[in-house]
A = this chain, B = another copy of it.
Amino acid sequence: MSVQQPSSQQAPSRPRTEKLSDAVVDTNPYSRLMALQRMGIVKNYEHIRSCTVAVVGMGGVGSVAAEMLTRCGIGRLLMYDYDKVELANMNRLFFRPEHCGMTKTDAAAVTLAQINPDVALEPFTMNITTLKGFDAFKASLTHTDTGKSRVDLVLACVDNYEARITINQVCLELGQIWMESGVSEDAVSGHIQVIIPGDTACFECVPPLVVASGIDERTLKREGVCAASLPTTMGIVAGLLVQNVLKHLLGFGQVTRYLGYASLQDYFPTMAIRPNPECINPLCRQSQAAFKVKAEQEAALQAASAPEEAAPAKADLHEANEWGIEVVADEPSGPAASRAAAALPQGLEYSMPVASMDASNLNRDAVESNDDKLEDLMAQLNAMSK
A residues adjacent to B (C-beta < 8 A): 13-14, 24-33, 35-36, 38-39, 41, 64, 67-68, 71-73, 86-88, 90-93, 96-98, 111, 114-116, 185-188, 215, 226-233, 235-236, 238-240, 242-243, 246-247, 252-254, 256, 259, 262-270, 321-327, 346-347
Chain B hits for A254, CB < 8 A: 264-266
Q: Contact between A27 and B88 (Cβ–Cβ < 8 Å)?
A: yes
Chain B hits for A265, CB < 8 A: 253-254, 321-323, 325
Q: Contact between A98 and B323 (Cβ–Cβ < 8 Å)?
A: no
6 A-B pairs closest in CB distance: A253-B264, A326-B326, A13-B97, A35-B228, A236-B239, A26-B86
Shortest beta-carbon distance from A37 to chain B in Å: 9
- What separation, in Å, do the CA atoms of A233 and B252 have in the docked complex? 14
Shortest beta-carbon distance from A117 to chain B in Å: 9
Given contacts A35-B227, A186-B36, contact A235 B327 (CB under 8 A): no
Chain B hits for A264, CB < 8 A: 247, 252-254
CB < 8 Å neighbour of A14 from B14, B93, B97: B97
Q: Contact between B114 and A226 (Cβ–Cβ < 8 Å)?
A: no
CB < 8 Å neighbour of A88 from B31, B41, B229, B259: B31
Given contacts A90-B115, A324-B346, contact A228 B41 (CB under 8 A): yes
Count chain B CB atoms within 10 A of each CB in A87, A91, A96 and give the residue with the most.
A91
- What separation, in Å, do the CA atoms of A87 and B33 have in the docked complex? 13
Q: Contact between B230 and A246 (Cβ–Cβ < 8 Å)?
A: yes
Of all chain B residues, which has the CB nearest A252?
B264
- What separation, in Å, do the CA atoms of A347 and B325 have in the docked complex? 10
8 contacts between A and B (CB under 8 A): A32-B229, A39-B185, A39-B186, A71-B92, A98-B114, A230-B246, A236-B239, A325-B326
Chain B hits for A238, CB < 8 A: 235
Q: Contact between B327 and A325 (Cβ–Cβ < 8 Å)?
A: yes
- What separation, in Å, do the CA atoms of A99 and B294 have in the docked complex? 52
Q: Contact between A41 and B242 (Cβ–Cβ < 8 Å)?
A: no
Q: Contact between B346 and A91 (Cβ–Cβ < 8 Å)?
A: no
Q: Contact between B253 and A263 (Cβ–Cβ < 8 Å)?
A: yes
Shortest beta-carbon distance from A46 to chain B in Å: 14
Shortest beta-carbon distance from A57 to chain B in Å: 16
Shortest beta-carbon distance from A195 to chain B in Å: 17
- What separation, in Å, do the CA atoms of A328 and B31 have in the docked complex? 37
Chain B hits for A267, CB < 8 A: 323, 325
Q: Contact between B13 and A98 (Cβ–Cβ < 8 Å)?
A: yes
- What separation, in Å, do the CA atoms of A73 and B263 have in the docked complex? 20
Q: Contact between B71 and A90 (Cβ–Cβ < 8 Å)?
A: yes
- What separation, in Å, do the CA atoms of A97 and B247 have in the docked complex? 27
- What separation, in Å, do the CA atoms of A97 and B98 have in the docked complex? 18
Chain B hits for A88, CB < 8 A: 25-29, 31-32
Q: Contact between B97 and A230 (Cβ–Cβ < 8 Å)?
A: no
- What separation, in Å, do the CA atoms of A101 and B247 have in the docked complex? 33
